[in-house]
Structure 1
Amino acid sequence: MLNPYLTVTAVIVGVTLLQAASGLLLVLLPLRMSAEQFSVQMIGWVAAAHGAGFLLGCAVIGRFIAAVGHVRAFAALAATLAAVVLAFAAFREPLAWIGLRLVGGACFAGLFTVAESWIADRTPQLLRGRVLGFYTVCSKASLVVAPLFLGAMELAGPWAFMLVSALCSLSLLPVTTTRAASPTVSAFSTLGVRELYRLAPVALVGCLTVGLINAPLLSLAPVYGEGIGLGLAHIVWLFPVLQLGSLVLQWPLGRWSDRGDRRRMIAALNVVVAVVALVLWALGAPHVWVLMPLLFLLGGAALSIYAICVAHAGDHARPEQMVPMVSSLLMVWGVGAVIGPALAAAVMQWGGVQGLFLYVAVVAAPFAGYVRWRITRRAAVPDAEHVHFVNLPTTSPVSVELGMAKALADKKD
């Protein structure tokens, strides 16, 4: 029973180190840009470049892996990412940081694609759900813990970037020394937007909305914390608390959505997001003991919607449609992750740093109304035809293959 876990342990360790590097960057970069007197709008553009790099990486990585193999692809991408991170410490021009974030986003997408295709190939189908759960917990835990180390570091020098670069380099060790055979590369297929909307309009609009909300929420939270006068010791907790809310609440919320019309859960979570965001906006600069519980609730709701939208889409799809459909939803999420940070930064530039939460509320509330309207237009899928909720990470298209195996089996049964 332990063999499937042992065969992918090396890859999961490598990905855990990469997620730690990603979490550190998401907190470090906004703080360094603020210290370098970048405007809030420019910080938003740099964050948007990461989303654009993610889409680019997803589009081209399959051909790259097919050409050089998994081990060489992982090594090349990890080495490139380590160099990109060090380059942030050498350059202070905003356009350079946009370019570096673009390349870094493509590298992260490629690395997660390599790792997750390896995990999917080496894990028996019946155990993929358990392995995905273990993988997701490791990834989320590293995102929660890693940024906290910034509170004990000097951010003005190169040391924080050196730590992130070291994590990227260390991720090479478990992956390049494993004896597991490299898997074959699956073709990356998607559905067109029209067909996707016809099958599951709430899922399509929902994944775009989630990208519009979550990307700026995670990437601009440190700017908000600094803007309201928090010290570094508290700022570094903002991102982890958002992720901790997701880690704790996403699974029970997803399983609860299995018991009825998922659209009601999606609408309710968006109402929670809108209400909590409006409270944070109205409070302006709340005391840290008020801020942290609200961020925990906001993260738990906002970061859980994507996987529930995916499960809702799976309820409506035929087995052969599920993988390309969910791959398309990930791409739609990526589009939102490109647009969202730039829009949120514009609102913050106009209305102050607390405008981040006004932006979140303005995006979430209309979507909740749209979902309620869709409930009146189409009957709910019977519970017996539901796929089981799968906690899919938004890391690469291959997470679809890994996470939807159980759902595909359910559909075929």
Structure 2
Amino acid sequence: MLNPYLTVTTIIAGVVLLQAASGLLLVLLPLRMSAEQFSVQMIGWVAAAHGAGFLLGCAVIGRFIAAVGHVRAFAALAATLAVVALAFAAFRAPEAWIGLRLVGGACFAGLFTVAESWIADRTPPSLRGRVLGFYTVCSKAALVVAPLFLGAMALDGAWAFMLVSALCSLSLLPVTTTRSASPGVSAFSTLGVRELYRLAPVGLVGCLTVGLINAPVLSLASVYGEGIGLDLGHIVWLFPVLQLGSLVLQWPLGRWSDRGDRRRMIAALNGIVAVVAVLLWGLGTPSVLVLMPLLFLLGGAALSIYAICVAHAGDHAQPAQMVPLVSSLLMVWGVGAVIGPALAAAVMQWLGAEGLFLYVAAVAAPFAVFVRWRITRRAAVPDDAHVHFVNLPATSPVAAELGAAEALAERKD
């Protein structure tokens, strides 16, 4: 058998290019909207449209893939995304940008679904955990590195959008030339909200909270940087530093959560998020030497909570429930990603750029209190009944099949 890392390299290469395009858009779009005199609230609505498109894509993409196959689906979605990127440079109306971001979000959800289902199919079950780790590191690295190129570009023209379009187009090359056969399409299944809450209330509320916090922080970080007077060279570092914190801290924090009650880790991380957010709000216009370490810590804590919440929910689930459970929690996260940017933007419109972190603290602190209360209401799962932590990306419902279901279902010996 070929090395599984080699058999999926072409698919991962395509995803890396897409993640680079995604990272560029998350930094570029708020800056361009600000230059076009969009209100902060409108910038929030455009960011919310991406979350809505993501939910739409997750819901319908399975039928599209089944109808046309993986290669054609990937090609159609990547080509559409490339056109959407160029359309941002052609249109100036806020309503057009909302529509484009909605379509783009659906395309990203579909592309990640295609890629992850393909990787899951081509990887032996015993090695899916390691392949998932390789895939996650490559994706995070693309998100960290790509936005830094904006610091050397003129953002008032079409060049940056052309770069995004080029990355989307280039993602077609490794995927459409692969010799791997297209896999079958798994049925998309979820659990009801009541069943989710009965099974793991902290997991349900936690994934909603993570969406409410992380989506606005990542999509409005550039607006915050501009609002406190940073130059472009420093603004383009804000998003990468947040992602770098996640890349460095998520795995050790998750493995640490395997020992003892995961809810204590979730509460502690939310407490850290709240404290760091209050500091960032209270400092007003911190120096770069203070700002960057705080954002690194915020990203490391906030972007790690989702996977730990999923692992906590897995502690209470049966193996057959794992795939619908993870899919359901991803949908809950997506709902938060729709609501969060609009709410955070309203606070920023009212209180200024620093209001972003006052909003974050106002969401994180009550959740930390809720988790502490839940600890008093239900006994912790014994350590030997824990599932293994998996660094699960919030990219598509198929992520559960990319080794997560098997890794989570195997209780510790």
Q: TM-score w.r.t. structure 2 length?
A: 0.99
What does residue 205 of structure 2 align with? 205
- Give the counterpart letter for 1:170 in structure 2: L
CA distance in 2, matches of 1:51, 1:298: 21
- Give the counterpart letter for 1:160 in structure 2: A
CA contact under 8 A between 1:319 and 1:411: conserved in structure 2?
no
- Give the counterpart letter for 1:65 in structure 2: I
What does residue 106 of structure 1 align with? 106
Query: Any residues of structure 2 matched to 1:281-360 within 5 Å, and which?
Result: 281-360=281-360
Query: Any residues of structure 2 matched to 1:9-48 within 5 Å, and which?
Result: 9-48=9-48
CA contact under 8 A between 2:322 and 2:405: conserved in structure 1?
no
- Give the counterpart letter for 2:270 in structure 1: N
CA contact under 8 A between 1:200 and 1:316: conserved in structure 2?
yes
CA distance in 1, matches of 2:272, 2:412: 35
- Give the counterpart letter for 1:3 in structure 2: N
What does residue 195 of structure 1 align with? 195
CA distance in 1, matches of 2:199, 2:401: 20
What does residue 88 of structure 1 align with? 88
Q: How big is the shift at 1:404?
A: 1.6
CA distance in 1, matches of 2:403, 2:206: 19
What does residue 383 of structure 2 align with? 383
Q: How big is the shift at 1:406?
A: 3.2
What does residue 115 of structure 1 align with? 115
CA distance in 1, matches of 2:118, 2:376: 43
CA contact under 8 A between 1:27 and 1:239: conserved in structure 2?
yes
1:225 aligns with 2:225: yes
- Give the counterpart letter for 1:289 in structure 2: L
CA distance in 2, matches of 1:412, 1:190: 26
Unpaired stretches in structure 2, ≥5 consecutive residues = none
CA contact under 8 A between 1:391 and 1:403: conserved in structure 2?
no
- Give the counterpart letter for 1:152 in structure 2: A
CA distance in 1, matches of 2:96, 2:285: 33
- Give the counterpart letter for 1:180 in structure 2: S
Q: How big is the shift at 1:3?
A: 1.3
Q: How big is the shift at 1:145?
A: 0.2
The 3-state SS of whatever aligns with 2:325 is helix
1:253 aligns with 2:253: yes
CA distance in 2, matches of 1:408, 1:261: 16
1:141 aligns with 2:179: no
Give CA-to-partner distance per residue, 1:310-359, whole Å, 9 cap, x none.
00000000011111011000000000000000000000000000000000
- Give the counterpart letter for 1:9 in structure 2: T
What does residue 124 of structure 1 align with? 124
Q: How big is the shift at 1:401?
A: 1.0
CA contact under 8 A between 2:388 and 2:411: conserved in structure 1?
no
- Give the counterpart letter for 1:232 in structure 2: L
Q: CA RMSD in A?
A: 1.0
The 3-state SS of whatever aligns with 1:402 is coil
CA distance in 1, matches of 2:243, 2:112: 19
CA distance in 2, matches of 1:44, 1:409: 38
1:60 aligns with 2:60: yes
CA distance in 1, matches of 2:5, 2:33: 40
CA contact under 8 A between 2:21 and 2:146: conserved in structure 1?
yes
CA distance in 1, matches of 2:91, 2:98: 11
1:156 aligns with 2:149: no
CA contact under 8 A between 2:390 and 2:408: conserved in structure 1?
no
Give CA-to-partner distance per residue, 1:143-188, whole Å, 9 cap, x none.
0000000000000000000000000000000000000000000001
Q: How big is the shift at 1:409?
A: 4.5
The 3-state SS of whatever aligns with 1:336 is helix
Unpaired stretches in structure 1, ≥5 consecutive residues = none
Q: TM-score w.r.t. structure 1 length?
A: 0.99
Q: How big is the shift at 1:412?
A: 10
Q: How big is the shift at 1:407?
A: 2.6
The 3-state SS of whatever aligns with 1:78 is helix
Give CA-to-partner distance per residue, 1:258-287, whole Å, 9 cap, x none.
001000000000000000000000001100
CA contact under 8 A between 2:387 and 2:412: conserved in structure 1?
no
Change in 2 beyond 3 A, CA 1:2/1:130: farther
CA distance in 1, matches of 2:132, 2:158: 35
- Give the counterpart letter for 1:241 in structure 2: V
CA distance in 1, matches of 2:120, 2:411: 19
1:70 aligns with 2:108: no
CA contact under 8 A between 2:36 and 2:92: conserved in structure 1?
yes
Give CA-to-partner distance per residue, 1:20-43, whole Å, 9 cap, x none.
000000000000000000000000
Q: How big is the shift at 1:405?
A: 3.5
- Give the counterpart letter for 1:66 in structure 2: A
CA distance in 2, matches of 1:141, 1:123: 22
Q: How big is the shift at 1:403?
A: 3.5
More divergent stretch after superposition (402-411 vs 181-190):
402-411
The 3-state SS of whatever aligns with 1:353 is coil
Q: How big is the shift at 1:231?
A: 0.4
CA contact under 8 A between 2:254 and 2:307: conserved in structure 1?
yes
Q: How big is the shift at 1:400?
A: 1.2
More divergent stretch after superposition (2-11 vs 302-311):
2-11
